[in-house]
Amino acid sequence: MGELTDKVKAAGNKAAGSVKESIGRNNDDPQLEAEGKAQKAKGSAQDVAGSVKGALGDDI
């Protein structure tokens, strides 16, 4: 179940990060754009964590 939870959180963070990044870029707000990029990176890390959990089992 942990794999699925991580994958869902990852997808949410990637989507929200993309939106923030786009809004920041379009509104000339470098701070919001940077926050979006960071949130997308967090989502990517969660995605990897979910994949590892899926490969090794949820006991990690």
Q: What is the pLDDT of residue 58?
A: 53
Q: What is the pLDDT of residue 52?
A: 85
Question: Between residues 39 and 49, which one has the greater pLDDT?
Answer: 39
**pTM summary value:** 0.80
Q: What is the pLDDT of residue 10?
A: 94
Q: What is the pLDDT of residue 46?
A: 92
Check: CB of residue 39 under 8 Å from CB of residue 17: yes
Query: What distance in Å separates the CA atoms of residue 28 and residue 37, rounded to the nearest whole number?
Result: 15
Q: What is the pLDDT of residue 40?
A: 97
Residue type, 46: Q
Query: What distance in Å separates the CA atoms of residue 33 and residue 26, rounded to the nearest whole number?
Result: 9
Domain ranges for the chain = 2-56
